[in-house]
Amino acid sequence: MISPAWGQQNLDAAFRSTGSAVVAAFESQRAVLQTSSAVLLDGREESGYGVIISSEGHILTKASEFLQLKKPTITVDRTKYPDVEMLAMDPEWDVVLLKIKASGLVPVVYAPTSAVPQGTWVVANGVTTRNARRVLTGIVSANIREIPVSGGPALGVVLKEGSKKLEIEDVAEKGGAQEAGIKKGDVILKVAGKAVKTISELSDALKDYKAGSKVEITLRREKKELALSVRLTAKSELFTEQANRNDQMSGDFSNRRSGFPRVLQHDILGTSKIVGGPLLDLDGRCLGMNIARANRAESFAIPVEDLKTLAERLMSQKPTEK
Amino acid sequence: MRARLKFLLFTLLAWPGLSAGERLPIDDKQAPETRKDLEAIQSALIAALPKVRAATVGIELEEGFGTGVIVSADGLILTAAHVSGGVKKKITVVLEDGTKLKAQTLGLNSETDAAMIRITEPGTWRFVEIDRNDSARLGDWVFALGHSGGFDKNRGLVTRLGRLVRLANSTFQSDCILIGGDSGGPLFDLQGRLVGINSRVGNEVQENMHVPMSEFVGKWDDLLKGEFIGEGPFTKKPVKGSGFLGLATDARPEGGLKVTKVGKKTPAETAGLKEGDVILKLNDTPLAKREDLQNLLKEMAEGDVITLDLLRGGKNETLTLNLGAR
């Protein structure tokens, strides 16, 4: 490999840091992904991954990606599970708890802490073959931190222009307003008990809330007043963000890539489809769950401590009504 | 040839006691094979990071943000030419903890994208070792640092691990994934030696280009002197006469130019010039007529640093500022 100093020299693809010869060194971590990560399929198309958290088939994955799937099925190891049930969801972390009819699965082993030094190897699912998982590798690449909502929280409504009141002209699909049952023609009167009359008063009243949190909105519908608890939605979830220069050079990235209470950042190079699966350390233990590809250089995972708490909370919740 | 030998001697004298560039065993393996090999990479990287992070700085630009790295205790910084953007300009650099420091751009090579900056505040700075012996080889494990997408104190610097995948004249390519904001940032070997400066990316994510250290070492004296080398493409040479100050003056019979008007949002206003100030000298040249000032400015360009000797309220003051763009 060491050749005379000058002239052009190229490293064979196999020996690049994502090349087959290098990735082969991660066989023991790949074996963990084979049994403890789930592959989400939409029809025949691979559409993300999941973290297996119980032997009876409880799986965590990214909610906003899962909800996009038309005909979700799951593969674990080599077994296909056609029936996928949605048990509970956490909009703040963008995580959904799924259940497949299975037994004897191998849940992930949680790492004791996500506070590992920067430069620690991490391993995640890459695009798989029908029967075998493949790995993508990288390192922990920045400080653990909160990712504030990009563009701030929103109700998910369009207000009528030129109206002297806050009359709703349209309700965005997938937004908190729609979930809460807000309708066209409703007039917003109060946010958390405080009267709002103009758009700027409304946005002022909302600006200190986080996306994912709930706020009480008082409305007038026809002649009645009613108060609804509305989940605030990240603006980036409702509208396609305008791509900046860095986005343009990033290829694809996750639709939702902000508004997370805490993330572990790594440099694994994948597509926006690689989220939802576990992030492993060299011992094959779960350091977290991949939740967003922010851009070509930055990917986020929910740190293991938060993932454990989230898993316990979602497991103890009653199934969501649909 | 003779000049080159002289120069090499100079650099050896200036940087005594550097390691001779021993290589890590892992760099001589085609690929890691065992858990032990992976741990060798991981432990070297973890050990190297704290020291090199302390020497890596953000660079505030008029538009956007870049990165650079301190290479001497007295605050010499290496970065990319398209980041520094010009020679002898006043700029601000930021340590990872958010400390802002005044600095000035030195020389740049617009053909290779190499540039130098110096911190102008007194102090002793943490710095990294340069790979002066050109010891980096194809396949070496390397890592890049940068303020990807701009400074973010909570996030800190972003690290990316990869290998040197292509060596060509005046360019190293690695598979450390770079993005805007990483420009000018350092590329290190696993021992924390600086082997390159982040420059640009290609269409593919695997195409991440760095300026090799040899490009800095080979032009060290010129860069240090503040020379603008080459005709691009990474930086455009400023055009003479493009410098803009933004004030009106009247000559005083006893010499010096009295400021009669300071334009809004001009370099003169930013620097704090006020109506009534008297400009006695520009860069030590006395000014007697308005044409004296005009003739001096005609020879200068956007971004040039000028020093003005002023008379303000009967007292002598000195003001240093960058000329703006006309």
Per residue in A54-77, pLDDT (tens digit) is 999 999 999 999 998 999 999 999
Q: Are residues B93 and B167 in the same domain?
A: yes
- Average pLDDT for chain B: 89
Residues A69, A161 within the same domain: no
Say how many domains are in chain A: 2
Q: Which residues, 6+ apart, have CB-to-CB distance to B18 below 8 Å?
A: B129, B132
Judge if B272 and B140 occupy the same domain: no
Q: Do B129 and B273 share a structural domain?
A: no
Please tell me if residue B263 touches chain A, with a CB cutoff of 8 Å: no
Segments forming the whole domain that contains residue B81: 2-229
Choose among A21, A146, A246: nearest Cβ to B31: A21
Which residue range(s) make up the domain with A190?
153-237
User: Which chain A residues are closer than 8 Å to B178 by Cβ?
Assistant: 297
Tell me, rounded to whole angstroms, the distance of Cα B94 from its chain centroid: 12
Q: Is residue B238 part of a domain?
A: no
Let me know whether B305 and B275 are in one domain: yes
Looking at the predicted complex, does its ipTM rise above 0.85?
Answer: no
Would you call A21 an interface residue with chain B, using a CB distance cutoff of 8 Å? yes
Is A72 domain-assigned? yes
Report the residue of chain B nearest A15, measured CA to CA: B31
Is A59 a domain residue? yes
| Same domain, residue pair B224 and B249 | no
Q: What mean pLDDT do residues B304-309 have?
A: 87
When pLDDT is cut at 50, 70 and 90, the band that residue A151 belongs to is low
Mean of per-residue pLDDT scores for chain A: 89
Q: Do residue A205 and residue A289 come from a single domain? A: no
On whether both B219 and B277 belong to a single domain, the answer is no
Nearest CB to B139 within list A15, A25, A143: A15
A103 in the same domain as A201: no
Yes or no: say if A113 and A305 are a contact pair by the CB < 8 Å rule.
yes
Same domain membership, residue A272 and residue A198: no
Instruction: Give the separation between CA A124 and CA A301, rounded to whole angstroms.
Output: 10
Whether B175 and B34 map to the same domain: the answer is yes
One domain for residues A17 and A130: yes
Residue where the block lists tokens 């970065």: B79
Tokens of A178: 């729609």
pLDDT of res. A253: 79
Domain assignment present for residue A7? The answer is: no
Residue A245 covered by a domain: no
Question: CB A120 to CB B149 under 8 A?
Answer: no
Chain B touched by A250 (CB under 8 Å): yes
Is the CB of A26 less than 8 angstroms away from the CB of B38?
yes
Note whether residue B221 is domain-resident: yes
Residues of chain B found within 8 Å of residue A120, distances taken between Cβ atoms: 42, 46
Residue of higher predicted confidence among B5 and A172? A172
A228 and A169: one domain? yes
| Domain identity same for A293 and A202 | no
A80 at the B interface (CB within 8 A)?
no
* B10 plus B72 within the same structural domain: yes
Residues B82 and B169 both lie in one domain: yes
Q: Pick from B204, B229, B254: which residue ends a domain?
A: B229
Q: Which one of A214, A237, A260 terminates a domain?
A: A237
Write out pLDDT tens, residues B174-217: 999 999 899 999 999 999 999 999 999 877 777 899 999 999 99
Same domain? A132 vs A157: no
Question: Are A111 and A304 a contacting pair, CB within 8 Å?
Answer: yes
> Does one domain contain both B224 and B93?
yes
Tally of domains within chain B: 2
Whether A322 is covered by a domain: the verdict is no
The model's pLDDT over A228-282, given as tens digits with 9 standing for 90+, comes to 999 888 776 666 555 667 776 666 778 888 889 999 999 998 777 789 999 999 9
CA distance A48 to A74: 10
Q: Report yes or no: B42 at the A interface, CB cutoff 8 Å.
A: yes
Cis peptide before B233 (omega within 30 of 0): yes
Q: Do A119 and B157 count as a contact with CB atoms less than 8 A apart?
A: no
